[in-house]
Structure 1
Amino acid sequence: MEYYGDRLCISMRDLVAGGIMSEPNYKQLAARGRFDVVRKGRGQGCYALVAVDSLPQRYQDKVKEVYPDGAQARLEGWIKSNYEIDQQATVFFFSKEKCGVALPREKAQEYITNASVLNTCIKLYERAATAQKLFGGKYDWGMMTATIEILRKHFGHTLPASTLRFRKKVNDYKANGYACLISGKFGNQSARKVDYKTERLILGIAVQPNKPWNTNVLELYNSFVTGEFDVFDPDTGELFNPDDFTDKNGEPMVLSEATICNYLNKPKNRALIDHRLMTPITFMHEVMPHMHRHHGEFSLSKVSFDDRDLPRKLKDTRIRPKAYYAYDVTSGCCIGYAYNRTKNVDLVVDMFRNMFRLLDRQGWGCPAEVEVENHLMSQWRDSFLRAGVMFPFVRFCAPMNSQEKHAEQFNGAKKRSIEHRNHVGIGKFFAKSRQYRTESNKVFDEFNNTYVEKEYYTWDELIADDMRDIYEYNHALHPNQKKYKGMTRWDVLVANINPTLQPLDKATIARYVGERVGTTIRRNSYCRVAGEDWWLSKTEAIELLSPNDYKVEAYYLTDEEGKVTDMFIYQGDMYIDRLENIGTYNTARAEQTEADERIFVEQRKKISQFNKYVEDNAIGRVGVIERDTRSQTIEVEEVIVPEPETRETQDYGLSEDYAARALQDL
């Protein structure tokens, strides 16, 4: 007997040879279609196969008698065809959140197989018609022994072979589900030598401020459980009881060094220990998860700022100059820089000025977003660096989180790739690479903290070197050559300017990072600033001034040489006007140039505009006369009226002289 497809079959020659039916009988029944011939005989090696379940019942009974092993084959075939891997069990056993414990992969696979086998057996039990067809009568649990072993042979489950124990496992599985298949040694606290309470005690000892070694933790724990030391909770003052840490015999739970090491080095415990023992900065940079990012596609979409100390020292003060840089994040270009002997506000302001000069000179817009640190930038959080005032988006990075600022990465790239190649003594004393490690010779004096520097430099030398390094860094190949093949950082910056940038608001720039001086509007036309006269752009600007107040604050921008380029005036927080430096002209006609003639014309235009403003808003005259407020007497001509007859009213019985009343009213 054999399977053809999913059906148990017997060959025609086995039917005849076994005496189940004769060959003529076979041919007659086949012709009448009394059974299914699933495969016809076609010559040598290809014999006819008949489906056993399609034979008449009396022939099926003879097949069982003649070929008793066929029933076993039939059972195996049914079991194999109905076995399915339980996908829900796969999700359950591979998920720590669902099953409550992190199972090894081989154990999870074993429990998935056991669950799938139980599902198959339960399906067999519930399908009574199939069971009767297989076993020829009432379902008998004794027959399940063969099924269990067949499934063990084909799928390798670890369920009990005993029928009674198997029945118990089936009932437990129906009642409790997948959890009943997990061994007690997984997630069972009572089976552990170190339970949860003991583990937390070990961890509490391990996070002492002196950062004890594992051997010290073992000594302290064993001393505690044997009564030599007391352990208490520093928050509540509660003493731990050594009697709570005993084995099943009441003896102190003494642990080995290997057990201590295993529990202290579990990944979960390692993270908790590091959180208590490391400084917040170290924990953030070495243990905490970090954000995964990628740069934008357009230049000036985001600019990152950061300060640094130049790596070499000054000859006069033995300190390192302070620098502040602005980097375009997409290209990595340094687009602004400034230097100072101390890290102060002037350093930041000079950096902004330098950056805006470059943007104005190149005709680029205002960066869409800036990424700044908290130390020096926080003073402008509610003014210049409030989103929407100068930049549409502003991000203040978390304090001490250097990995968040892109500028930190660019500072490192500039130092490693350019400065280390161009200068001596660039690196770190703790660097792993020998080429990047710096060394200093210690002077053993009474202070014991003096080191001999190989060389000191002047201010001009250090600043000039750094400016050359910035230029070389900007014009070096972009690190992402796969995307920007053959392009330098500067090429990437210029070629990918964000087309949606807003134009530079020079009035706002001048107010917050420009030079400031108080001045007065004179003759309704100009202000004197830095020894020069700056004209109002139009006479209408005086309408914005406060009553009886011509004093204003002038804010101006300068170029690299210190020459004033843009001048704006404010009165308090009110923007008044942008001033123009027309210049002066030579009054000697014989010496006048074209420039003098142009200046003369421009000044006459300003005066003409003022005259037109005055004429357009001229005040019309009105006549004024004094009002006569003296009292006047009205003369009334006397009129003689004949005295009327007195008449008595019928309604009220009263009499009234109406003529006399009229005279009185006059």
Structure 2
Amino acid sequence: MEMFGKTLCVTFDDLVGSGVMSKANYKRYVREEKFSFMQRGGNGRKVLIIYDKLPDKIRTEIDTKNPGAKDKIKKQQINPMDHRLKSDSKAVEFYKKYTPKISLDRQTEYVLNVKVLNAMVALEVSMRDAQGKCGFQNNKEIREKVIALCENLRERYRHTLPKARLMEKYAAYKKYGYAVLVNGNSGNQSARKVGPMEGRLLLKLKRSKFPVYTDMQIFEEFNRIVEERNARATREEDKLKPIASPQTVINYLYKTSIKLWWYGVVHGEIAFKNEFMPQFDTKLPDMPNTLWYGDGTKLNLYYKEYDKKQKRMVARTIDVYEVMDACTEVFLGYSFGAENFLTQYDAYRMALETWKVKPYEIVTDNQGGHKKPEAQYFFKRICHLHKTTIRTTASPKPSKALSDASRCR
């Protein structure tokens, strides 16, 4: 017997090799589809048949020949949890040098929590490897085992990881490391605040394209600039405050209100819109002639023409303006030519004369003369509502205060 995830299965040897049934009888059962396979054999794979779906006669015969095998296999699936925590010298050094200073009691608490989180990570990795070899992933089972390990270690070592938001803290630890365990109220937090002048300099460094800085390089470059500026400053109000911890830089730059000012420059306009712009789901109408939409495009119809400048024959094509119904996707009208008011008029006139009905709403883009007065008047006459699609906007431009960041040097 073997476990495939949470499913108890029997192998070919359990049935034929142990004498429960003959090979010919086994083949007959397979041919008549009396077995429910979790995994079929071949190419090095082992045959796995679901135990609970075996015929009652065969299941009774297996239990008689191997009493207690079912319970033994299921107990083996629940591996005894290792309560021995491994030391982490890097965590000890991190909290020892952390700024602002952390008390020794707090350092001991944080290091213990790190050891527990490391044990949880090791368990998750081992379970994913084991499940991967079996060809499946059971995230719910992994999550339950990881939480169970944490609670067992809580009883033994009295660690202080949260219960209600444990997996949220666990995910943050895997992503950001030791700093996520530090209590925001520990130490002198005034040393971690970033003023407006310091913030403008951090934004300038983050938005820099030549060179491009990492977060750690921004921390180092910021303190270098601050040191040079403070050495030249004659007035106290012109001096900048250095930042003691790289985590302070990360906490400031990745706040949503600050992230808005550099995300588009660093990652591009499309990434900015995906991150911050509202996402709309378009719901198509349920009735015909509720919504018509039109747009111009290239027609996939090519012909040869002599080009006087190149003095040779070249391939040409033509534009076409099309009108379609949004509900039925029926092709209503068209007009050949560049996208302008004349081709729009001809296309919509064909649609109206052919189908003898007016739409409730028409949607067009902002190009091709749709904003011209004659176009607006024409669309108002043939529908109740005419709308244009929303044009995308770029990421916000830096304010005047941000443009003055160069003064921080």
Q: Is the TM value for this pair above 0.5?
A: no
- TM score, norm. by length of structure 2: 0.39
Structure number with higher helix proportion: 2
Which structure is larger by alpha-carbon Rg, 1 or 2?
Answer: 1
- TM-score normalised by the chain length of structure 1: 0.25
